[in-house]
Structure 1
Amino acid sequence: MDLTPLRQRLLTALAGDPEGAPPWVLRLSEGDDAGYFPENGAAWTVHAGTATLIAGIRALLVQALHPGALAGVHDFSRYREDPLGRLAGTVRWVICVTYGSTEQADAETARVGRFHQQVKGTYQSTEGRAVAYSAADAELVEWVHLAFADAFLTSHRTYGGPIPGGPDAYVAEWATAGRLMRVKEPPRTADELARALESYRVRGILQGGPRVDDVVRFLRRPPVGGGMALGYRLFFAAAVATIPKELRRLLGVRRSVLPVVTLTRAVLPIVTRVLESGGPRAHDRAHERIRRVRSNASG
């Protein structure tokens, strides 16, 4: 069976390139240091797994519960006009920061920061008053980091394999990415992460509503066709299955009656084989850079 067409569709969605080798991926083999994260460590392992496909959906759903974050997406994101482009842009930042040299990671973070400087406006609170927001606000930056870290950690724990050093190692490592994005005190353990997330709900900051419903409807059935549409519906259900009940209620979603966790665990290894059926992946290029750096240091 020729897996090339499916692989190309997946790589176009994830990297914006049918071969998975846009210029920013090729640059992962360049640079003069090992980067911000230990080779084959917790962040490398979590972000290399195909459970990230589910984590991305989960992160977008949970992030939408903060009205400021939702307003930024509604007012500035091109997710409706170009959902795959929006996804590829997020993937680019994650991959460059995780596997790139510090120079590449810093440049990519600066690129995202320049865009965030433009993201500002107002939204209506539940009381009907106008509230100013900016993507650079400390609370919004923290919320996005928390929702991201929780989504990727929870998805990997549910659908992936072991994490070197365990969940705390991932949270501690990914705190570096939080600091790069100017999060003042990112959590460093899984318990700290869970408490920080829950504090937003307890303080009444998170809320549902028509805009959230609109995002959920779009994320439930985005404009993808063919076999990818069937797979995406499974991954959406898999993401919902990992979201706590209180947040599912705000999102207006329910867990599927189907055994989606079992089905997803069966499907993800197939997706892994599809993606690995072609050329080098991002972490392979990072390994290449690190071997060169070590060789130069020892020679």
Structure 2
Amino acid sequence: MSQPAVIDSAELGLFGPDSVTWQLHADPAAFLGGVRSLFLQALHPRVVAGVMQNSDFRNDPLGRLERTADFIGRVTYGTVDEARAAGARIRRVHRALSATDPGTGERYGLDDPELLMWVHCTEVGSFLSVARRAGYPITKAHADRYLHEQRTSAGLVGLDPETVPSTVEQLRDYFVRAYPSLRHTPDAAEVGDFLHRPPLKGRLAMVTPLYQVAIGRLAYSLQPEWARRMWGARSYPETVTTGMLRALRAAAFAVPERFLADDGPEPAPVTAVRRLGQWAAPSPERLPRI
């Protein structure tokens, strides 16, 4: 199905249905990429201190992940106005919040570009790494295009897009430069325990053991070796990790849509397709030919 001849470009959003971002962010592997990124983010002492001192994650175990997913969904699949409004909200929140460095006692704002850069790079790097390992057919050229596209997202949260890695090599170099500032702190340990086994309540508590095995420990195991060494906890063997990831991705595609319906918010890609038409449906087959 082809794109309609006349369509308001603002309705296509910041990236549009022909982008790598549009296809990649709809893949089931993106969820595990998001959890993996939270493990990595916790290794930055100031990032994790900011979370611990400003977040109610103990009483709202899924809140941060849901808010992050909502932001990514709006920026990827919303209209231009919706994406810009989501970015403005994030900037307002970050400007209003601060934290104290546990090591130095220094007060700092959560809109510090160093912190924003770490969060951005761990997110996009995790989406790419997990998607590739899950079997998503993304090439080096696609990965570079994706990182270049994601400079737009970085600009929305307050970063200078020109300073953000836009190739796989630049992203790798960034992680090498950032490595000396990373540590496994008591705050990181608490967040890591939480990510492995969140204190779910009510009916959700019944799935905690499944989450711990299939999501928490798997996402932990998907981190790079240097990060797992810093954490110090055991991970699944490499072959088991890859096998579980690919099995979960296949299972997600096999679940009939009627079983996914609930009283929660409509998934962002579904909303975008309803707005634009079936021609805009995300798919690996729609990755640009580059």
Match of 1:134 among 109, 117, 124: 109
Q: Identify unmatched segments of 5+ residues in structure 2.
A: 1-7, 281-290
Q: Identify unmatched segments of 5+ residues in structure 1.
A: 1-29, 295-299
* Cross-structure match for 1:21: none
Note the C-alpha offset of 1:200: 0.5
Within 5 A, what are the aligned runs for 1:146-225? Answer: 146-163=121-138, 165-184=141-160, 185-201=163-179, 204-224=180-200, 225=205
* Cross-structure match for 2:22: 44
With 187-196 and 97-106 compared, the bigger mean Cα shift is at: 187-196
* 1:246 partner letter: W
Secondary structure in 1 matching 2:101: strand
Note the C-alpha offset of 1:32: 4.2
Contact conserved, 2:78 with 2:268, CA < 8 A, in 1? Answer: no
Match of 1:245 among 222, 225, 228: 225
| Counterpart Cα distance in 2 of 1:71 and 1:35 | 34
| Counterpart Cα distance in 1 of 2:215 and 2:21 | 21
Contact conserved, 2:37 with 2:126, CA < 8 A, in 1? Answer: yes
Note the C-alpha offset of 1:238: 2.5
Contact conserved, 2:197 with 2:208, CA < 8 A, in 1? Answer: no
| Counterpart Cα distance in 2 of 1:109 and 1:189 | 23
* 2:253 partner letter: T
Secondary structure in 2 matching 1:133: strand
Secondary structure in 1 matching 2:11: coil
Percent identity, please: 31
Note the C-alpha offset of 1:236: 2.3
* Cross-structure match for 2:84: 106
* 1:255 partner letter: S
* Cross-structure match for 2:235: 255
Note the C-alpha offset of 1:108: 0.9
Secondary structure in 2 matching 1:81: coil
Note the C-alpha offset of 1:194: 1.3
Secondary structure in 2 matching 1:92: helix
* 2:169 partner letter: D
Contact conserved, 1:117 with 1:135, CA < 8 A, in 2? Answer: yes
Deviations 1:199-249 (A, max 9, x none): 111xx2111121111111111111233346414422223222322222212
Match of 1:88 among 48, 66, 80: 66
| Counterpart Cα distance in 2 of 1:64 and 1:150 | 15
* 2:73 partner letter: I
Query: Is 1:268 the counterpart of 2:249 in the alignment?
Result: yes
| Counterpart Cα distance in 2 of 1:177 and 1:192 | 17
Note the C-alpha offset of 1:142: 0.9
Note the C-alpha offset of 1:76: 0.8
138 and 66 in structure 1: CA distance in 2 versus 1, 3 angstrom threshold: same
Deviations 1:62-121 (A, max 9, x none): 011111111110011122111122221111100000001110001111112221122202
What do you get for the CA RMSD once the two structures are aligned? 2.4
* Cross-structure match for 2:32: 54
TM-score, length-scaled by structure 2: 0.81
* Cross-structure match for 2:4: none
TM-score, length-scaled by structure 1: 0.79
Contact conserved, 1:237 with 1:260, CA < 8 A, in 2? Answer: no
